[in-house]
Structure 1
Amino acid sequence: MKWKSLVTVVLFNWALLLVSVSTVAANPPDAPQNAVVLVMDASGSMVQNDPNRVRVTAAQRTLDFLHDMDRLALIEFASAPRVIVPLRPIGSAGKREEMHTLIEQVGQQGATDILGGLRSAHHQLTGAPADACKYVILFSDGESDVPGITDTSAGRQRYLTETEDLLARYQDQGWAVHCIAFHETNAGRELENIAAKTGGEYQFISGPDELKNIFANILVAAKHLPDVKPSFHVSLPQRGGYQVGEELVAQAFITIGQDRVLPGPFLEVFSMNLVISEAGREPLVVPFAADTDNGIYRAAVRTELPGEYDVQAELNARYRDHEFGELVSLGSVRVGEEVQSSLLPFTVDQMAFVRKNLTYVASAVLYVLVAVFTVLLWRMRRREKVSGDLRVWMQTNNQCRYAKYCFRLHKAGKRDVKIASTQDRDTDFRLEASGGRDFAFLIRSMRDPVKDPRLSPWQRLFKGPRMLYEVVCLPGTAMQIDDRLRTRSVLYNGDSFEIDSYIFGFECAFIGNRPDGEDVLNSYSPLMEGSKGKSKDKGKVKKVLTLRRKPT
């Protein structure tokens, strides 16, 4: 296996083990696409009203509630509108990060031209797909104020008339404009009027804490009809048995469709409790608390008495103008006596920690096993390919010259290495035919069907398969061994054979020497002075060498 294949296998194994946590995904098959335009106030008054630029963070969070194929545009308005992000699909994680960066470009300098921002938003929505759900989220801290236009009563009246005409087009096309008024005391009536004329939502907030989730809150509400009822979801990450002293933890969240509802103007939670009861005892009520900014609630209680308990979760809340309540049963859990033994290698808390992190432990063990398997597979594939050196001597009148060639067989990277006197697409190493007749033979790698009895199964697994090499002459070629012509024979380290006027000597410590008592492959091997090591005058005629029979 070449290094590129090895890298591919390792990366694939990593992909199998990666656990990603994300609140977004590709659009479900039955979910309509959304085309949303964020119109942000970038006037100079935002320096005082939003010095920490919380509106930018709130706008970035809307990306977490849009799917990959939903479209989003971002427009800022001050003295004039500016399109920061034209309407385009949200896309994959890389595109989302790019949008996060672009949203940070929202400024805070100039006048307040709301009409200009709405005109640009209308132009962006005209390019959205016809079947998409289109709407605008408008954020401002006051009313329109454009020097040179709204300074006079006539100019302001003309400005408001043009605004009314634009809102009428929004209403005719069914595009709602949801407005967020952000001011310490009073943001005026203009934004409220815009929301009412287009069928959108209007929210007034006075502090940055309320602003944090407002965009996402309005976005989730705008994606669903007002009469859709929320759903209450509760889970126990650890089910089954507990021991005294362990912590019982429950998580809960509220959704509309596939979207999680965040705390805000549309959702008000009156009470959310975890109820643990046992026959003959007073129920234990543990309130849920907001664990993150993503609408996740968490309740935890440490078990103190052994027994079997029924676990339930209750919710009383208001969504929009409708109050609702739910009671969810989580089944029963058993709490056993705490184990007190000096033989136990871990404390109860340590064991609970391991169980809570069992997913990560299992992933780590699985990755180690896959990595070991990958290395073993790589070693096995590598061992299956021919390796070693094949030295070539030229003989003339029963005399040998110094080694003429040395073929590095591993460079072929194959299980069948071909040496021939003619060049074709299968030939790995070429030698000229000195006897006037072409020849061709293979050095082949194969697994030894006989297992080494000295090795245990585990040693065989980690050491890899035992390999044998074989010399196979192709049609029209024969090799001389022990004064006889043969077409194939097993090959060991130190063996040699003769074809044409060449003598081939094989060296490969990986294969090992011929076992004692096994038939000798050939009756001779070239012996030379200084054959071990490199020669400075390579190619020159050396001392005449004689062939001698190898000891049996």
Structure 2
Amino acid sequence: MLTKWRILLNLLFLTFAVLIPYASAQEVSIVSKGLAVALVIDSSASMKDNDPETVRIEAAKRAIDLLSNSDQICIIQFADEAAVLLPLRKVGGESSRNEILSTINNIGNKGYTDLKGGLEKALIELSKAETGKKKIVLLLSDGEPDLPYLLQNSKSMAKYMAELDKDIDLFKNQRLSVHCIALGITETPSLLRNIAQKTGGEYFLVTDPNELVYFFKSILITNKYPAIDQPSFFYDYKLNNYSVGDRFPVRAGFKIGTDNLVPGPHLNLEHFILKIILPDKRTITVPFKDDGGSSSLDQKKDDGVFSACVDCTQTGESTLYIQVKGTYKGKAIAENRKLGKITVEPELQKGKFGAFKSVAAMITNNLLNRLDQRKISENILLLAAKYKDGIIIKQYAISWHKLLIALILIIIISIAAFTIRYIRVKIHAYQIKGTLNYKIPTESSSGILNLEQLGKKEVLIATENDLGADFVLPKKNRNFAFKLIKINRSKKNKIAIKEFNLNGAKFCYLVICLPGTYLLYNKRPKSRQQIVHGDYFTIGDYVFELNCPEASEHYEH
């Protein structure tokens, strides 16, 4: 009996060991290192009828804008035969992109339709793609193969289609998806649909060539990101005070990653409006548009950023909402977002002093309201309720505790900056300034010792190197060594010197001779002496003069 339970437990553990990694693998999406795209465009004569304005060329150009510099692209056209207009290469920067756009302009519209040749060229080019790139084909055509020798011989057509089936199997085995767009065809051709289904691509029927740009962009965006990624909603507007007559836009849309989505085969927006509740409680709605028009204040057509214009016609507070309803890849998406309130003031009066009168009237009304104590209480309660959770800057809500943390950080940074500056000033104040000029009367030679460049409060001057002197002077008749020290008033009592006298000055300079050295000051020998700006003293054969305006306070000797 015990043996049976052990066998059962072992089977359970084995089952979990197999299933858990499998389940985890299903949840992890494979992130590619960019795209390798083959644009395979039908350039047969029939395209003149289905795309007379060559919109497919503009759509292909717009698709290039969605690719990053590191993505790869090749361009192939097919008619009587297929031709590689642009071998597979990186999209690159501005100059490289301009070359690609120029190449797209060379797509023609004459001859018959060799669809198999176009796919075979794409297969060869994508085999050169960098490792890790997600390889896809974007195929645009308006019909099935119609080469004359195929239409005249059923065996040739059968052989052609058999070879095409083999090519499709190669795409499938190499996991190269072919996304097919059938243009201007009222009935869906089975060939393009089968190619898309067998290779894991998507098939779309487009009857209006002006919609091609949406399909090209939508297919590329959905292939740039993992299939599990869902679009995020974004919006932008300025929460300002406006005047009657002002107009401003509210912008919104959906994006995946850094790319804005446009309506097309994957994104369907059934209901996308800006709802405005006016001060008199009436509700108006404004549709969002991506038309680049002045009525909506939209900046650029078909960029995925939709705009709705708010016309300020009524004074008071109005509340704004965005309402969206639609689908993305068949899944429902919905938003009912409250943006906030805007305040519309009366229109400024026109004519001489009109603006001044309007502002004066507004100030007067505000003062009268403030004089009403009951209204003051009501306003305080309203403000307390409005800002109980924090304040709103544009569309961002900031809580009070975050504001408090920010204020504390600002105070700490300010104190730290002040402390650092104070310390630097203090250190700089204690450093010796100016220069010590010297001359040797017997040799008519002179020099200058730059004391300030050392950044010290004590400088050693000597005729010997082994003392670690800051300045070493040439020896004449005998060696000497002395220090020049800067002294603060607070340390006055720590210096035992009879002549010491600050006489109101904050700092003084003191010459202290080391053993074996003495100085002459006013023809009297001394071992130490306080000196001021312009004082002379003699040590050995050298006559020194202090040039330091900081030590300009004189005293009685």
* TM more than 0.5: yes
Residue of structure 2 equivalent to 1:515: 552
Do structure 1's residue 342 and structure 2's residue 341 form an aligned pair? Answer: no
Q: Taking structure 1 as reference, are residues 436 and 330 closer, same or farther at Cα in structure 2, changes over 3 Å only? A: same
Q: Taking structure 1 as reference, are residues 435 and 251 closer, same or farther at Cα in structure 2, changes over 3 Å only? A: farther
CA contact 1:478–1:487 (8 Å) conserved in 2: no
Residue of structure 2 equivalent to 1:21: none
Residue of structure 2 equivalent to 1:503: 543
Q: Taking structure 1 as reference, are residues 115 and 286 closer, same or farther at Cα in structure 2, changes over 3 Å only? A: closer
Residue of structure 2 equivalent to 1:480: 519
Structure 1 counterpart SS, 2:309? strand
Residue of structure 1 equivalent to 2:169: 168
Q: What are the equivalent positions in structure 2 for 1:33-432 lying under 5 Å apart?
A: 33-41=32-40, 50=54, 54-55=58-59, 57-63=61-67, 72-77=71-76, 79-80=83-84, 83-86=87-90, 97=94, 100=97, 103-104=100-101, 106=103, 108=106, 113-125=117-129, 127-128=131-132, 134-140=134-140, 161=162, 163-180=164-181, 192-203=193-204, 209-223=210-224, 230-238=231-239, 242=242, 244-247=244-247, 249-256=249-256, 259-278=259-278, 281-290=281-290, 291=298, 292=300, 293-321=302-330, 324-336=333-345, 342=356, 391-396=437-442, 401-403=444-446, 405-406=447-448, 431-432=473-474
Q: Taking structure 1 as reference, are residues 84 and 302 closer, same or farther at Cα in structure 2, changes over 3 Å only? A: same
Structure 2 counterpart SS, 1:299? strand
Shift, 1:283, TM fit = 0.9
CA contact 1:49–1:184 (8 Å) conserved in 2: no
Looking at both structures, which has the greater relative contact order when contacts are Cα pairs under 8 Å and sequence separation is at least 6?
1
CA contact 2:171–2:199 (8 Å) conserved in 1: yes
Where structure 1 has 5 or more consecutive residues not aligned to the other structure, the ranges are 1-28, 349-354, 357-369, 451-465, 520-551
What percentage of aligned pairs have identical amino acids? 21
**Quick one: which amino acid aligns to residue 311 of structure 1?**
L
Q: Taking structure 1 as reference, are residues 238 and 105 closer, same or farther at Cα in structure 2, changes over 3 Å only? A: same
TM-score (norm: length of structure 2): 0.56
Residue of structure 1 equivalent to 2:376: none
CA contact 2:88–2:126 (8 Å) conserved in 1: no
Shift, 1:253, TM fit = 0.9
Shift, 1:51, TM fit = 8.8
**Quick one: which amino acid aligns to residue 274 of structure 1?**
L
Separation in 2 of the partners of 1:273 and 1:36? Answer: 35
Structure 1 counterpart SS, 2:65? helix
Q: Taking structure 1 as reference, are residues 495 and 117 closer, same or farther at Cα in structure 2, changes over 3 Å only? A: farther
**Quick one: which amino acid aligns to residue 552 of structure 2?**
P
> What per-residue deviation string (whole Å, max 9, x for no partner) do you get for residues 45-99 of structure 1?
7999759953563243213xx6x9xx5212233534754425xxx9xxxx65576
Separation in 2 of the partners of 1:428 and 1:151? Answer: 102
Structure 1 counterpart SS, 2:179? strand
Aligned residues: 424
- Measured on the aligned residues, the alpha-carbon RMSD in Å equals 5.7
Shift, 1:233, TM fit = 3.5
> What per-residue deviation string (whole Å, max 9, x for no partner) do you get for residues 315-334 of structure 1?
23343455654322224444
TM-score (norm: length of structure 1): 0.56
Q: Taking structure 1 as reference, are residues 99 and 157 closer, same or farther at Cα in structure 2, changes over 3 Å only? A: farther
Greater share of residues in helix: 2
Structure 2 counterpart SS, 1:106? helix
Shift, 1:218, TM fit = 1.4
- The one of 422, 427, 433 aligned to 2:475: 433
Separation in 2 of the partners of 1:480 and 1:221? Answer: 90
Q: Taking structure 1 as reference, are residues 55 and 255 closer, same or farther at Cα in structure 2, changes over 3 Å only? A: closer
